[in-house]
């Protein structure tokens, strides 16, 4: 198991924002602007959803009970269907009689909080004469850099044939023969990471504009720009590894242009916590574990680079949170703790041992069980302690916080 104490020490050091407090001038938040909706321009021969998804369909009172609250920006209903459902609302089990349970109740992985309407599947239901059923996709956690969240869900580009996003990898001894299904799993995993890292470029660009709008210190703006450049190289390296194992030359399509979300310092703090403090901290922990266990020299070198950079990106997020908390007061920390309680990973059944786990790990890929373990440890040993260092007086999860060595 990865020792997370060094990572914790680096992130904890980022909470010292005394220098930032001397730099930044205070200013009022900017006027709220709206994001542009993403356009799908991918090659239909190479579809890839935004992270892994689980499908679910339901109808009637269940949908109304799960409808996302007003604090989440959503569009109008479609064919009588809410655009977003909130999986963590308390719903009377009797409402599910005759319907499928939510994916998180039966799937071996935990799902994201929000289910997004699948309009095509819903249209198919209508074409078949079903006037009430609505279908949704529940996105699963996917490692990688800072996610690009649009309307409550992580977005990735589509794929098209091309080689423009593949970096030159150092020469290395040829990989030993692998079972074809393992090789495909490794290639697909690196391809998904490539798209996640690619999405992080746009996420950091938006984050920089949002920080600029609340008069953040120049140092935070500069670090956001540096992080976006890091993500470019991460994406190129991951696309190259996907090509190395999969043999296909693929590149991403353009991502949607996203505008600053507005909402002032509190909104920036909340978004930074979810996308940076949680997303980047978990990504850093996963990359560190994979780098420490990989045996392929090329993969190991790439993961060490990514682990270092993701650690710095996580440190940037925690430093941003600390600066906003110092400037705006206790209401920011209270809002973040509430968010942490909402996003804290729920207990799920331990997935069965993966027969390919050792081979996957040799080439830098964590199996489902290892990912779940690292995800849980990142919350327990990193995110919760760092919230306590910020001043949170109560643990956000069901377990007692473990104190790491200094």
Q: What is the 3-state secondary structure (H, E, C) of 311-365?
A: HHHHHHHHHHHHHHHHHHCHHHHHHHHHHHHHHCCCCCCCCCCCCCHHHHHHCCC
Return the pLDDT at 348. 56
Using alpha carbons, select from 257, 238, 164, 167 the residue that is nearest to residue 198.
Answer: 238
Q: Are 87 and 138 in contact (CB under 8 A)?
A: yes
pLDDT > 60? residue 335: yes
The residues with which 111 forms a beta bridge, in sequence order, are: 140
For 218-233, the pLDDT digits (tens) are 999 999 999 999 999 9
pLDDT > 60? residue 32: no
pLDDT > 90? residue 94: no
The first and second tokens of residue 373, run together, are 């373990």
Q: Are 133 and 58 in contact (CB under 8 A)?
A: yes
pLDDT band at 53 (very low <50, low <70, confident <90, very high): low
pLDDT > 80? residue 74: no
Q: Across the chain, what does the average pLDDT equal?
A: 81
pLDDT band at 125 (very low <50, low <70, confident <90, very high): very high
For 236-275, the pLDDT digits (tens) are 999 999 999 998 899 998 887 788 988 899 999 999 999 9
Higher pLDDT, 13 or 112: 13
Higher pLDDT, 143 or 259: 259
Return the pLDDT at 242. 93
Cβ-based neighbours of 77, under 8 Å, separated by 6 or more: 83
CA distances from 93 to 61, 62, 81, 90, 322 (A): 11, 9, 20, 9, 41
Q: Which of the residue ranges 8-22, 26-40, 81-95 would you say has the lowest mean pLDDT?
A: 26-40
Spatial separation of the C-alpha atoms in residues 203 and 68, rounded to whole Å: 23
Residue ranges of domains in the chain, CATH in brackets: 5-45+148-390 (1.20.1260), 53-140 (no CATH)
Return the pLDDT at 387. 94
Spatial separation of the C-alpha atoms in residues 259 and 250, rounded to whole Å: 27
With a pLDDT cut of 90, the percent of the chain lying above it is 48
Average pLDDT over residues 10-17: 91
Return the pLDDT at 392. 86
Using alpha carbons, select from 373, 388, 387 the residue that is nearest to residue 4.
Answer: 373
Return the pLDDT at 44. 34
Return the pLDDT at 323. 96
Q: Are 84 and 116 in contact (CB under 8 A)?
A: yes
Return the pLDDT at 299. 95
Spatial separation of the C-alpha atoms in residues 158 and 8, rounded to whole Å: 35
For 144-157, the pLDDT digits (tens) are 678 888 877 778 88
Return the pLDDT at 205. 94
Return the pLDDT at 119. 82
Question: What single-letter DSSP state applies at residue 400?
Answer: P
Using alpha carbons, select from 109, 170, 26, 29 the residue that is nearest to residue 372.
Answer: 109
Return the pLDDT at 402. 41
CA distances from 76 to 59, 181, 326 (A): 17, 42, 38
For 144-191, the pLDDT digits (tens) are 678 888 877 778 888 888 989 999 998 777 767 899 999 999 998 999
pLDDT > 70? residue 350: no
């Amino acid at each position: 198991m990865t020792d997370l104490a060094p990572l914790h020490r680096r992130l904890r050091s980022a909470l010292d924002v005394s220098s930032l407090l001397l730099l930044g001038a205070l200013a009022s938040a900017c006027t709220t602007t709206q994001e542009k909706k993403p356009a799908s321009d991918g090659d239909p021969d190479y579809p890839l959803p935004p992270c892994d998804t689980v499908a679910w369909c339901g109808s009637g009172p269940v949908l109304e009970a799960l409808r996302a609250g007003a604090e989440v920006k959503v569009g109008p209903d479609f064919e009588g269907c809410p655009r977003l459902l909130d999986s963590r609302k308390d719903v009377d089990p009797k409402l599910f009689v005759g319907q499928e349970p939510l994916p998180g109740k039966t799937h071996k992985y935990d799902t994201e909080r929000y289910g997004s309407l699948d309009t095509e599947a819903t249209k198919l239901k209508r074409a078949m004469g079903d006037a009430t059923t609505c279908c949704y996709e529940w996105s699963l956690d996917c490692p990688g850099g800072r996610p690009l969240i649009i309307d409550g869900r992580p977005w990735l580009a589509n794929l098209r044939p091309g080689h423009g996003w593949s970096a030159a990898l150092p020469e290395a001894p040829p990989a030993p023969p692998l079972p074809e299904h393992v090789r495909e799993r490794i290639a697909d995993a690196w391809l998904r990471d490539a798209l996640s890292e690619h999405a992080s470029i746009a996420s950091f660009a938006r984050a920089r504009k949002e920080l600029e709008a609340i008069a953040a210190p120049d140092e935070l703006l500069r670090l956001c720009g540096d992080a976006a450049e890091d993500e470019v190289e991460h994406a190129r390296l991951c696309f190259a590894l996907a090509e190395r194992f999969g043999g296909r030359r693929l590149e991403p399509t353009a991502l949607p242009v996203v505008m600053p979300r507005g909402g002032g310092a509190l909104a920036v703090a909340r978004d930074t916590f979810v996308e940076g403090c949680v997303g980047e901290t978990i990504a850093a922990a996963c990359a560190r574990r994979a780098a420490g266990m990989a045996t392929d020299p090329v993969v190991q070198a790439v993961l060490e680079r990514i682990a270092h950079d993701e650690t710095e990106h996580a440190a940037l997020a925690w430093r941003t949170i600390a600066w906003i908390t110092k400037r705006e007061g206790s209401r920011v920390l209270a809002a973040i703790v509430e968010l942490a309680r909402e996003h804290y990973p729920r207990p799920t059944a331990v997935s069965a041992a993966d027969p390919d786990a050792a081979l996957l790990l040799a080439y830098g890929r964590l199996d489902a069980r290892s990912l779940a373990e690292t995800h849980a440890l990142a919350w327990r040993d990193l995110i919760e302690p760092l919230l306590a260092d910020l001043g949170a007086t109560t643990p956000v999860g069901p377990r007692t916080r473990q104190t790491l060595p200094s």
